[in-house]
Chains A and B, each alone.
Chain A
Amino acid sequence: NAGVTQTPKFQVLKTGQSMTLQCAQDMNHEYMSWYRQDPGMGLRLIHYSVGAGITDQGEVPNGYNVSRSTTEDFPLRLLSAAPSQTSVYFCASSRINSGANVLTFGAGSRLTVL
C-alpha cells in the first residue's frame, strides 16, 4: 500500500513560473487536502475536497488552484509563483467519518521560489 504519494519532492521555480504539485492516494479516501508548512506557522490548509468534482478553499487559498477529477488524484497548481510561496507542501487524505478522522500525510514537496 503506497498511501499518499507526492511528486516532486523538491522543486525550484523562478518568480512568475507555474507548476503543478501532484498528489495521489490509493486508500479510496473521500477527503483530500493540501497544507503548507512554514516555520512558526504550523500547517495551514490551502484547499480541500470531499469527493470527485467537489473542492473548496481553506485558510490560505490565494495563488493556488485545485481540481479533483478522480477519487485518487488531487493536484495543486501554482499559477504564477511568488517568493512567499516558498514552503513545504503536504497532501493529506482521510475517510469522511463523523467519529474519528485520521489524516494520512504524504512525505511533502519542498518548493523554493527565487
Chain B
Amino acid sequence: QQQVKQSPQSLIVQKGGISIINCAYENTAFDYFPWYQQFPGKGPALLIAIRPDVSEKKEGRFTISFNKSAKQFSLHIMDSQPGDSATYFCAARADSWGKFQFGAGTQVVVTP
C-alpha cells in the first residue's frame, strides 16, 4: 500500500506547455516533501523540495504547490522543454534520519 499516491502515470505535453503532477499523502507526520527527476539509465536526482509550513516554492521553471489541509502537493513545470522529458517522483520524509516514501512516478514526454 503506497503511502504517497502520485498521478498521472504519464503525460505528454507540447514544448512551451505546462506539466502538472499531483501527489497525495495520508501520514500527517511527514515533514519534508522533495521531488526527484530521473533520466533513462540514471539514478534520481533532487529537483526541488518544500516543507509543510510553506504553500509554494519556485525554482526557475519548477514550482511546488503545497496544500497541508488537503494533504496534497503538486509539481508544475512551466514552459516545458524537450530536455524536461524524464520520470518525476514525489516523496515524503518519514523521519529525520532520511527515510522517504516515494510515489509511483510520472513519465513526462515533452514533444518539440
- Which A residues contact B (CB, under 8 angstroms)? 4, 31, 33, 35, 40-45, 48, 50, 58, 90, 92, 94, 96-98, 100-103, 105-108
How many A-B pairs have beta carbons closer than 8 Å: the answer is: 68
Interface size on B, as a range, is 20 to 34
Any A CB within 8 A of the CB of B54: no
**A residues in contact with B44, CB < 8 Å:** 43, 90, 103, 105
Across-interface contacts of B34 in A (CB, < 8 A): 102-103
Asked if A98 and B96 make an inter-chain contact with CB atoms under 8 angstroms apart, the answer reads yes
**Out of B46, B51, B99, B103, which one reaches A48, CB within 8 Å?**
B99
B43 engages A42 (CB within 8 Å): no
* CB-CB nearest 5 A-B residue pairs: A105-B43, A43-B102, A101-B98, A42-B104, A42-B102
From 6 to 65 in chain B, residues with beta carbon under 8 angstroms from any chain A beta carbon are 6, 9, 32, 34, 36, 41-46, 49, 51
Contact of A40 among B42, B46, B51, B104 (CB under 8 A): B104
Where chain B touches its partner, the secondary structure class is loop
Q: How many Å from the CB of B50 to the closest CB on chain A?
A: 10
Question: Among the interface residues A4, A94, A100, which one has the most CB atoms of the partner chain B within 10 A?
Answer: A100
Q: Which residues from chain A contact B46 at a C-beta distance below 8 Å? A: 102-103
Contacts of B42 in A (CB 8 A): 107-108
Q: Which residues of A contact B2 (CB under 8 A)?
A: 41-42
